[in-house]
């Protein structure tokens, strides 16, 4: 099933490898160049190595639980007054979200490179849990950097990571959130680069990370394509996914990028509103800039300092975005919209009530958009939502936001 | 760009090459302190630059703070966040430089991350930086080959582009790193972020010697150099010694005067005075 790429005998020229149009690149301290070269080489070999691909496939099937179902959401169609609408059930993966596709792939690569120590950054803790899970499976040492504020807010995920044998290091520099945890992970990598692999959690960072993470997640889009063709006999009219860093969106978009008639829609977090300055809508409101090794749309102030992001959903709370999304935006191949906290919270409730599925708050942003725009999204064919994660992790947070904290 | 710049400079600033040549003629290495613009707040940063020049610094690295300093350790992060919190900006840093330049000919390397100057407009930034009296630019997250168009903008604008080399850099990559490099080569003493360390790696002197076969520029060593004994050790093999976090540490504890005294100590240490 896995067909990450067609074999290429040699690596193409640097800009073609490292960029998406003008975006991406390798804007990192010199110390990391050797490690990025090594990773690129190892990945280049692995992606065409049948043994590697077979092992990856088997783990996705037997450990992660793939393929995930494509489920037709009939009550959602009724509510929205249009259809068909399908949900790609990434919430049913082991650990409850799409994140594990990437951590399994990268842990396999780390083992291939002989690196025994893994570091990762995490916001809400989903990528941290998925990384800790892969490290337990492969017996790798695991250190997860997490903003001190997030450590407070997501105590349960901290405990999960610890149960899985990982060490969680709170980061209290800067804004004490995901971007600062990412800075700290990069600092660790610069320091321990010879023994350590950095499992980055989204389609961000210096090349080759954005392509590699996308490729590991593109199984989502490949399955979707097969499944929708089997059940509908046609391609989707639209594919919708939430975008923070953008890994679940790139995973489902990628196998459809060459199908010009399939609309690709990314939904960012408008937070308290894109005009309030408290949002995470990098593609809608940012300007191109350089953060964490790549040129991409970035929330920044008038002096080029990175602006703090905000969203009710910790997984979207990031001021940057994967460089391939910037490219898809500028070429017009994908369009990006923003949905605010309130609408996302309403959608969180609606999907739970309508379909018996509590979605992740991140995903709820995309659900809100579909509930409003279903007619347009289904006008040329079925709409597929990437239901990127389950919402159990958000239940306590939503209860607090809605003033029912005393329940917990 | 300001329409007029008063020609207050007492003399044209020295070049980086001159600064190294003067020391080399005396068998000495250049002392290169890192100062974060805005830490301490603006006027005190200027006072610190002046104190450093008077304490025997040969070249100054003036840091323009960035919100996400991922190559820096806790000490320089602290300085960065305090400077930003107190309102330091790209223009503010250039203004400090301009005022320094009106009285001193010590060459200055601007040291920052790519995003603030990219957002400013790199060509505009280079022009204004040169106008304010900078000789060179070091961008931590613009390694050789990452963006040749941006590298050209720096050089075409007349600033020397300082390159970093790490212990992890493959030997085969050295010519690429040195291609178009100006001023001096900044050799990173160890893998890791900036910050004072108790011990230097034993291989350091050997690595610097090996580099000389391929590097025509002066070689300065930085990252983690703290007590005068270490500075002296590094000065034994390298052409220059960069001191950043240790200086910030001293500054936090003892203010500008103490920081100046620390640099004078380093200078004496490097020159082999007052050490057994």
Q: Which residue of the set A40, A77, A90, A121 is catalytic?
A: A121
CA distance A183 to chain B (A): 5
Q: Nearest chain A Cα to B193, which residue?
A: A187
Q: What local confidence, expressed as pLDDT, does residue B197 receive? A: 73
**Tokens standing for residue A43:** 């990945």
Alpha-carbon gap: A118 to the closest alpha carbon of chain B (Å): 16
Burial of B252 (0-12, 13-18, 19+ CB in 10 A): middle
Integer angstrom CA distances of residue A127 from A97, A130, A183? 9, 5, 16
pLDDT digits (tens, 9 = 90+) for B63-94: 999 999 999 999 999 999 999 999 999 999 99
**pLDDT of B1 strictly over 50:** no
Contact call for B173 and A193, based on CB within 8 A: no
The nearest CA of chain B is from the CA of A158 a distance in Å of 24
Residues of B in contact with A192 (CB under 8 A): 191
pLDDT band at B4; cut points 50, 70, 90 = very low
**B61 annotated active-site:** yes
Answer yes or no: do B113 and A26 touch at CB < 8 A. no
What is the ipTM score, two decimals? Answer: 0.93
B107's CB contacts (< 8 A; 6+ apart) are: B13, B14, B15, B16, B18, B19, B58, B59, B60, B135, B136
> Minimal CA–CA distance to A226: which of A96, A6, A66?
A66
Length of chain A: 408
- The answer on pLDDT for A179 being more than 50 is yes
Which is catalytic among the residues B58, B72, B128, B239?
Answer: B72
Q: What is the pLDDT of residue A192?
A: 93
Distances (CA, A) of A4 to A50, A94, A156, A327, B87: 11, 21, 34, 21, 48
Q: Which residues of chain A does B163 touch, with a Cβ-Cβ cutoff of 8 Å? A: 30
| A272-317 per-position pLDDT tens digit | 999 999 999 999 999 999 999 999 999 999 999 999 999 999 889 9
For residue range A203-226, list pLDDT tens digits in order: 999 999 999 999 999 999 999 999
Residues for chain B: how many in total? 276
Percent of chain A whose predicted confidence (pLDDT) is above 70: 96
pLDDT at residue A148 in the model: 92
Q: Is residue A336 predicted with pLDDT exceeding 50?
A: yes
Give the distance, in angstroms, between the CA of residue A270 and the centroid of all CA atoms in the same chain. Answer: 17
Per the CB < 8 A criterion, the answer to whether A105 and A175 are in contact is: no
Contact state of A304 with B115 under an 8 Å Cβ cutoff: yes
pLDDT tens by residue, B118-171: 999 999 999 999 999 999 999 999 999 999 999 999 999 999 999 999 999 999
Both tokens of A274, joined, read: 């894109």
Q: Most A CBs within 10 Å: which of B119, B138, B176, as the mutation test of the A interface?
A: B119
| A116 classed as catalytic | no
B70 touches chain A (CB under 8 A): yes
Would you state the pLDDT for residue B216? 95
Q: Is B146 on the interface with A (CB under 8 A)?
A: yes
First to last CA, chain A: 43
Catalytic-role residue among B50, B58, B61, B249 = B61
The pLDDT value recorded for residue A1 is: 46
Q: Which pLDDT band, with edges at 50, 70 and 90, does B5 fall under?
A: very low
Which residue from B120, B144, B165 is facing A304, i.e. has the nearest CB?
Answer: B120
pLDDT of residue A282: 98
Residue B204 vs residue A234, higher pLDDT:
A234
- Report pLDDT for A15: 82
Give the up-direction half-sphere exposure of residue A395: CA atoms within 13 A in the CB hemisphere. 10
Tally C-beta pairs within 8 A across A and B: 121
What mean pLDDT, rounded, does chain B reach? 92
Rounded to the nearest integer, the mean pLDDT of chain A is 95
Residue B145 is nearest to which of A14, A34, A191, comparing CB atoms? A14
Determine what percent of chain A falls in helix, strand and coil, rounding each to the nearest 5: 50, 20, 35
Residue that wins the pLDDT comparison between B10 and A392: A392
Across the strands, what pairs with A83? none
**Cα–Cα dist A188/B188, whole Å:** 16
Dihedral over Cα of B262, B264, B268, B271: its sign = positive
A406 pLDDT more than 80: no
Pairwise CB contact (< 8 Å): A290 & B140: no
Helical spans, DSSP H, in chain B:
16-25, 42-54, 74-85, 90-101, 114-120, 122-132, 148-156, 174-178, 204-212, 228-237, 245-270
Give tens-digit pLDDT for B243-273.
999 999 999 999 999 999 999 999 999 988 6
């Amino acid at each position: 099933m896995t067909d990450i790429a067609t074999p290429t005998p040699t690596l193409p020229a640097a800009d073609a490898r490292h960029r998406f149009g003008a975006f991406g690149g390798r804007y990192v301290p010199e110390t990391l160049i050797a490690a990025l070269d090594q990773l690129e080489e190892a990945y280049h070999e692995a992606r065409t190595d049948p043994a590697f691909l077979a092992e990856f496939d088997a783990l996705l099937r037997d450990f992660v639980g793939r393929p995930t179902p494509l489920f037709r959401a009939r009550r959602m169609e009724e509510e929205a007054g249009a259809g068909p609408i399908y949900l790609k059930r990434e919430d049913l993966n082991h650990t409850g979200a799409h994140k594990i596709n990437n951590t399994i792939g990268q842990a396999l690569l780390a083992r291939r490179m002989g690196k025994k120590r893994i570091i990762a950054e995490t916001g809400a803790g989903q990528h941290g849990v998925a990384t800790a899970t892969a490290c337990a499976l492969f017996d790798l040492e695991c250190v997860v950097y997490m903003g001190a504020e997030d450590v407070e807010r997501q105590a349960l995920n901290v405990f999960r990571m610890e149960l899985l044998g990982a060490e969680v290091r709170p980061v209290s520099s800067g804004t004490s959130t995901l971007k600062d945890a990412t800075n700290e992970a990069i600092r660790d990598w610069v320091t321990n680069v010879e023994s350590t692999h950095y499992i980055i959690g989204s389609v961000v960072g210096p090349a080759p990370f954005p392509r590699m993470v996308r490729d590991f997640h593109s199984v989502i889009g490949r399955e979707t394509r097969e499944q929708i063709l089997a059940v509908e006999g046609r391609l989707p009219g639209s594919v919708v996914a939430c975008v923070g860093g953008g890994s679940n969106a790139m995973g489902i978009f990628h196998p459809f990028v060459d199908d010009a008639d399939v609309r690709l829609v990314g939904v960012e977090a408008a937070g308290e509103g894109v005009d309030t300055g408290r949002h995470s809508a990098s593609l809608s409101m940012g300007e191109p800039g350089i953060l964490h090794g790549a040129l991409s749309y970035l929330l920044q102030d008038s002096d080029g300092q990175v602006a703090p992001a905000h969203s009710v959903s910790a997984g979207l709370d990031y001021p940057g975005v994967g460089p391939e999304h910037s490219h898809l935006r500028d070429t017009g191949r994908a369009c990006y919209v923003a949905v605010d906290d309130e609408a996302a919270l309403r959608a969180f409730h609606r999907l739970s009530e309508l379909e018996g599925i509590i979605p992740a708050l991140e995903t709820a942003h995309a659900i809100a958009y579909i509930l409003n725009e279903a007619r347009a999204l289904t006008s040329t064919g079925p709409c597929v939502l990437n239901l990127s994660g389950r919402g159990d992790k958000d239940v306590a947070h939503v209860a607090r936001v809605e003033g029912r904290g005393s329940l917990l | 760009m300001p329409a007029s710049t008063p020609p207050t400079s007492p003399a044209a600033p020295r070049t980086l090459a001159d600064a190294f040549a003067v020391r080399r003629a005396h068998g000495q290495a250049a002392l290169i302190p890192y100062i974060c613009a805005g830490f301490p707040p603006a006027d005190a940063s200027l006072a610190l630059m002046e104190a450093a020049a008077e304490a025997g610094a040969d070249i100054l690295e003036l840091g323009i703070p960035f919100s996400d300093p991922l190559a820096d350790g806790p000490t320089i992060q602290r300085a960065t966040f305090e400077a930003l919190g107190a309102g330091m900006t790209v223009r503010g840093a250039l203004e400090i430089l301009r005022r320094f330049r009106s009285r001193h000919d010590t060459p200055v390397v601007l040291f920052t991350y790519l995003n603030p100057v990219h957002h400013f407009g790199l060509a505009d930034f280079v022009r204004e930086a040169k106008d304010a009296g900078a000789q060179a630019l070091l961008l931590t997250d613009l390694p050789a080959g990452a963006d040749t168009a941006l590298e050209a903008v720096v050089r075409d604008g007349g600033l020397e582009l300082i390159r970093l080399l790490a212990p992890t850099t493959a030997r085969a990559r050295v010519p690429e790193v040195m291609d178009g490099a100006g001023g001096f080569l900044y050799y990173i003493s160890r893998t890791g972020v900036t910050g004072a360390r108790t011990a230097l790696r034993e291989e350091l002197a050997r690595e610097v010697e090996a580099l000389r076969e391929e590097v025509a520029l002066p070689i300065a060593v930085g990252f983690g150099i703290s007590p005068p004994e270490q500075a002296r050790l590094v000065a034994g093999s390298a052409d220059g010694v960069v001191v950043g976090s240790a200086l910030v540490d001293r500054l936090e504890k003892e203010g500008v005067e103490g920081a100046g005294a620390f640099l004078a100590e380093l200078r004496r240490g490097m020159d082999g005075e007052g050490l057994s």
